[in-house]
Structure 1
Amino acid sequence: MKKGLLAAVLLFSGCSASDQTDSSETAPASSSSQTKVAADNLEVPWTIAKQDESFFITERKGTIIQIDGDGKKKRMELQLNEPVLHEGEGGLLGFVLDDDFSKNKLAYAYHTYLKKGKIMNRIVQIKKQPDIWRETKELLADIPGGPIHNGGRLAIGPDGKLFATAGDAGVKESAQDKQQLAGKILRLNVDGSVPEDNPFNGSYVFSYGHRNPQGMAWDTDGTMYAAEHGQSAHDEINRIEAGKNYGWPLIEGEEHKAGMEAPLIHSGEETWAPSGIAYSNGRLFIATLRGEKLLSLDLQQKELTVPLENAGRLRDVYVNGKYVYVATNNTDGRGTPSEEDDRLLILPNDAASK
């Protein structure tokens, strides 16, 4: 994108029960002719964050790229006490800015590392300096990891708590073990301590029975949603509640079992591989990898539309007023990258005008 275009877009945007639905109900894709490229030549991007006119995007090898309102890019190193292990599905993954980032320059990151020959994940507080990001505090370590199913998303909820998705790391039985952090959604205070009102006393576990949970989002009423990769198709969007069991590996898709939560919707026999999600005006936007589409879910009608396709694998989505920003993930070893991949794309948020 030309430098002036991103600046103009940012200025115009202000800068600032359990019914099942399967993939057969997805509406045809709408036109993506209004899609613009905000930045290109990103290296396996994972998370989009935004402050004022600047975007911050994590790259799985361990860098954070800053894209300013004039389109200028600056790739910054992240100095950690444990090096990033960029292997399999691991690396520098989740990232979220502190609520007071404009004053304190603090953020939080989730990354894979190697400990005594074992693949693990950890959550750290980091601080932006002029030319580098540095770890300032380890919040939570020894989250089980592996070549697959590291989870990895971070988000700060409406309650000011830090939420993290942790996959089962390929050991499916761990998802039902509340004593383990794998296969869970975790909830922390931003200083790394366990919130007193967590559902299990003294535990970071907020919900369990997850296979490979990914993006998280909250609607205006504070209802929490999360995306999750199914074993073979049957990808899920779940309504997340404290202390609830989401069934993996005992149930998935349309299966039911007492004491376990069925998904809000699932993909049926189609594979989405949903990653980042974002909420806007009664809809969830869902970035899909294998599905190679941006899905838009009407939460009231439980109907899906496709605002964007034909851009390849999509890793994350961020909504800011009248615009939706999507990061492609074609350079992750599983896609077919073009010379310009990976890219940060901009498209109109039709939901904002409804």
Structure 2
Amino acid sequence: MRRRGFGAAAVVAAITVLGACSPAADTGRPPSTTPPAPAASGTPGSGSSGSPAAVLGQPQSVATGLDAPWSVVPMPGGERLVSQRDDGEIVEVSADGAKRSVGAVPDVVSGGEAGLNGIAVWRGEGGTWLYAYHATQADNRVVRMPLLGAAGSYRLGAPEVVIDGIHRASFHNGGRIAFGPDGMLYVTTGDAGDGTASQDRESLNGKTLRLTPTGAPAPGNPFGSAVYSYGHRNVQGIAWTADGTMWASEFGQNTWDELNVIVAGGDYGWPVVEGRAGDPRFRDPLLQWPTDQASPSGLAAQGDTLWLACLRGQRLWRVQTSVDTVVGGPVAMLQGFGRLRDVVVDADWALLVLTNNTDGRGSARDGDDRLLRVETVAAE
């Protein structure tokens, strides 16, 4: 790589454990809502947010000794499932912090940023399924496996391919997956080092994809394929705020990392532009950061508040939103824990944050990977 409670409406959007699918929508917003227009020249909006700004309580270590963790999913009983990139393991962390292996996802081949990346859980016909984005020897793909047993005894059934043929590389593999408010599966892919693929709507790389739970292109997709948006370099975070607006955090190259509103059919400019360009052909980011202040991976929505977990920037950015605009400036929090890989909203409305200091590059903090729990409270 180059480098508790503001309103229950967002819980469904923020947590990737979903019930049965709702009707398909044309965008990542509620079906009756028109996709938002971009803010002029990517300038943050003004106005008031539907939820107050939040401050963080004292972080608590829920689990330590994780190995290159990449994604965390809260479960109904208070346990959490964590993916480990390099060994392909799914780890169950109990409410009291005990760890056990649920099993290894078959055929994971790791290397560089590739391996076992994002996971999500879906409940519907046929039971409960664990979805996983991972690299094989030949490609990146999403598979789903029956999640059998119960808390303390989960195990994985045989995998089914949801989508494959996503090019893999040592870098820029994307890898975040989540179910949206519409019940569809959203998948982020990287350009795998080939920027031209991002502008090629026939390619699966450099895209956000929108699929049914079984892997078909979702009804209403803009191009009649799995592609939902394109012109991305390496999106590793997606989330939906309370009104249904879809957001994504994206790695830039050398200059600007981005926070974007994602709309159906949107072109986000890579590799032609990086950051705000004011070019009418492309959608500008709502916020941008120098790469040493961000390199954002996980993204969570808590009401109208967004949280970006940053790797190189080693901080959690808080961003207030109002519909499809940003209110005020971002605020840096949770520094001092090294690289932050993922952030999600737990069932009790606290944040769960994964550190990812196993970077394979001899980091001074190498191996110090943990799951943190941080309560949020409304600022006075």
Instruction: Please tell me whether residue 136 in structure 1 is matched to residue 159 in structure 2.
Output: yes
Partners of 2:285 and 2:377 lie apart in 1 by 26
Aligned to 2:83: 58
Letter of the structure 2 residue corresponding to residue 159 of structure 1: D
SS in 1 for 2:280: coil
1:303 offset after TM fit, Å? Answer: 1.5
Equivalent AA in structure 1 for residue 81 of structure 2: F
Task: Identify which of 305, 330, 333 aligns with 1:283.
Answer: 305
The match for 1:24 is none
Deviates further, 181-190 or 31-40: 31-40
Q: Which residue of 2 aligns with 1:213?
A: 235
Shift in Å, 1:100: 4.4
Distance 1:268 1:86 in 2: 29
Aligned counterpart, 1:35:
59
Q: Deviations over 1:203-238 (max 9, x none)?
A: 100000000011100011110000000011300000
Are the equivalent residues in 1 in contact too, given 2:55–2:376 (CA < 8 A)?
no
What is the deviation of 1:20? Answer: 3.4
Could you tell me the TM-score, scaled by structure 2's length? 0.80
- When residues 322 and 50 of structure 1 are mapped into structure 2, their CA distance, relative to the original with a 3 A threshold, is closer
Contact kept in structure 2, 1:178 and 1:208, CA below 8 Å: yes
Give unmatched runs, 5+ long, in structure 1.
1-14, 22-29
State the partner residue of 1:121.
140
Q: Which residue of 2 aligns with 1:167?
A: 190
For 1:347, the equivalent position in structure 2 comes to 374
- Matched AA of 2:58: Q
Q: SS state of the match for residue 267, structure 1?
A: strand
In 2, Cα distance between the equivalents of 1:160 and 1:43?
31
Assess if the C-alpha contact under 8 Å between 1:277 and 1:287 holds in 2: yes
Q: Which amino acid aligns with 2:141?
A: R
Name the count of aligned residue pairs.
324
- RMSD value, Cα: 2.4
**1:9 aligned partner:** none
Q: Give yes or no for the alignment of 1:104 onto 2:130.
A: no
Residues 79, 93 of structure 1: alpha-carbon distance in 2 compared, 3 angstrom cutoff: closer
Match of 1:325 in 2: 352
Q: Distance in 1 between matches of 2:293 and 2:255?
A: 4
Q: Residues 339 and 273 of structure 1: is their aligned pair in 2 closer, same or farther, counting only changes over 3 Å?
A: closer
State the alpha-carbon separation in 2 of the partners of residues 267 and 176 from structure 1.
Answer: 23
Q: How far is the alpha carbon of 1:272 from its aligned partner?
A: 1.0
Point out the more displaced range, 238-247 or 317-326: 317-326
Larger relative contact order (CA 8 Å, sep ≥ 6): 2
User: Could you say what secondary structure the match of 1:301 adopts?
Assistant: strand
2:363 equivalent to 1:336? yes
Q: 3-state DSSP class of the match of 2:198? A: helix
- Structure 1, residues 77-125: CA drift from partner, whole Å, max 9, x if none? 2242xx1111010000010000449x8231211000112xxxx101111
Shift of 1:324: 1.1
**1:76 maps to 2:128:** no
Q: CA 1:339 to 1:215, structure 2 compared with 1: closer, same or farther past 3 Å? A: closer
Deviations 1:255-280 (A, max 9, x none): 12222100010004644110000001
Deviations 1:275-306 (A, max 9, x none): 00000132100000000001111124141112
8 Å Cα contact 1:313-1:328 kept in structure 2:
yes
The answer to whether the Cα contact below 8 Å between 2:89 and 2:105 also exists between their aligned partners in 1 is: no
Q: Which residue of 2 aligns with 1:267?
A: 289
